[in-house]
Structure 1
Amino acid sequence: MTREVSVVLNGLHARLIATNQTVSVAESCTGGLLGAALTELPGSSCYFLGGVQAYANEVKEGLLGVSHETLVSFGAVSEEVASEMANGIQRLTGSDWAISTTGVAGPDGGSSEKPVGTVWISVVGCDGLFSQKLELDGDRTNVRQGAVRGSLSMLLEHLPSGGSTL
């Protein structure tokens, strides 16, 4: 784990505990790395409810409720699918916050429209749904680690700073 991720993770840990809020994850391109990061610190069971590694479209549809039409119209690597994945895992777990990742980690699978390194992240919580597109460089490991870093940073950006529960 990089120092940058460790700093963000410590901030998330403190805020989630201080605000008594929970989080869940729906992962495609990160394949469990995001959930692993969120459970890195002792006490994470206070806020991490769980996750789904939805690599196959059938799992995105069957477990997370991603619409078949959305997958066909926009593709698995899209803002629309990331949004539906985040909403789906939040609905499934009842968490206050949910994060989803979907992308092209490489080395194959990219296209001119969605090259290797294209990642969509969605975060849903008390203040709405937010999505962000990342265009990451490097090999498969770098893309996946960058997606985790971006996801954690995005959640931290939207979490309340503490003092009251929502």
Structure 2
Amino acid sequence: MTAGDQELFDAGARLGELLEQQRRMIATAESCTGGWVAKALTDKAGSSAYVLGGLVTYSNQAKQELLGVTGKSLEDHGAVSEPVVREMVAGALATTGADVAVAISGVAGPGGGSEEKPVGTVWFAWGNDATSTEAVVEHFSGDRDQVRRQAVLYALQGVRAFLETS
């Protein structure tokens, strides 16, 4: 199932409204989605009230240099892993000073998958500090665009659910 443009806009707007109500600023740290979560959040006019910034850290080097992801985590677990997305959240919070951050790293395809991490495997994390950060892995189907769209929607909905309960 693919998330359409309107569905992504609506999910971004709903999260934005909640962030604004809670007077929180968000930062994004994205790999396979290439900044699409930040785009969905900023598609609505006035989003500067709740979007602090976003980092597209597609390469391992960028993850290390911009977000402080450790070489050990990348070497031991790979970029598409729970330790890495948790470190991405911590780095986004530290780098930007945001109140909450979301991180995404996955295998969107069509290549790059493995038996352990097939195409469609995407790790997510969100939180407002190291102790509150939640991480989850999902497996999406479809082509590259479909995987990325599903990942963006999942991230927006996941952060919203996190904020509603924290």
TM-score by length of 1: 0.92
Give the counterpart of 1:131 among 114, 135, 140. Answer: 135
- Deviation, 1:7, is 3.4
For residues 159 and 26 of structure 2, the distance between their equivalents in structure 1, rounded to whole angstroms, comes to: 9
Report how far residue 3 of structure 1 moved: 4.0
Question: Is the 1:19–1:160 Cα contact (8 Å) retained in structure 2?
Answer: no
In the alignment, is residue 153 of structure 1 matched against residue 157 of structure 2?
A: yes
CA RMSD of aligned residues (A): 1.6
The structure 1 segments of at least 4 consecutive aligned residues displaced by more than 6 Å after TM superposition are: none
Amino acid at match of 1:89: A
The Cα of 1:19 is off from its aligned counterpart by 1.1
Of 57, 74, 79 in structure 1, the residue corresponding to residue 77 of structure 2 is 74
Q: Which among 120, 143, 149 is matched to residue 147 of structure 2?
A: 143
Deviation at 1:10, TM superposition (A): 2.6
Structure 2 portions without partners, runs of 5+? none
CA contact under 8 A between 2:13 and 2:41: conserved in structure 1?
Answer: no
- 1:37 matched residue in structure 2: 40
Partner Cα distance (1:155, 1:60) in 2: 21
Partner deviation per Cα, 1:90-133 (whole Å, 9 max, x = no partner): 11001010000000000000000000000001001267101111
What is the CA–CA distance in structure 2 between the aligned matches of 1:10 and 1:150, rounded to whole Å? 14
Give ranges in structure 1 of 5+ residues lacking alignment: none
Select the residue among 54, 57, 60 that pairs with 1:57: 60
> How far apart in 1 are the matches of 2:37 and 2:11?
13
Mean alpha-carbon deviation: is it higher for 58-67 or for 11-20?
A: 11-20
Residues in 1 aligned to 2:59 and 2:80: alpha-carbon distance in whole angstroms: 12
Amino acid of the residue matched to residue 34 of structure 1?
A: V
The percent identity for this pair of structures is 41
Deviation at 1:6, TM superposition (A): 3.4
Deviation at 1:85, TM superposition (A): 0.5
Secondary structure at the counterpart of residue 38 of structure 1: helix
* Correspondent of 2:49 among 46, 66, 86: 46
2:11 aligns to what? 8
Are 2:119 and 1:120 equivalent residues in the alignment? no
- Secondary structure, counterpart of 1:111 in structure 2: coil
Q: 8 Å contact 2:60–2:79 — kept in the other structure?
A: yes
Give CA deviations for 1:51-95 in whole Å, capped at 9, x if unaligned.
Answer: 111011011001100010000000000011011011101110010
Amino acid at match of 2:156: L
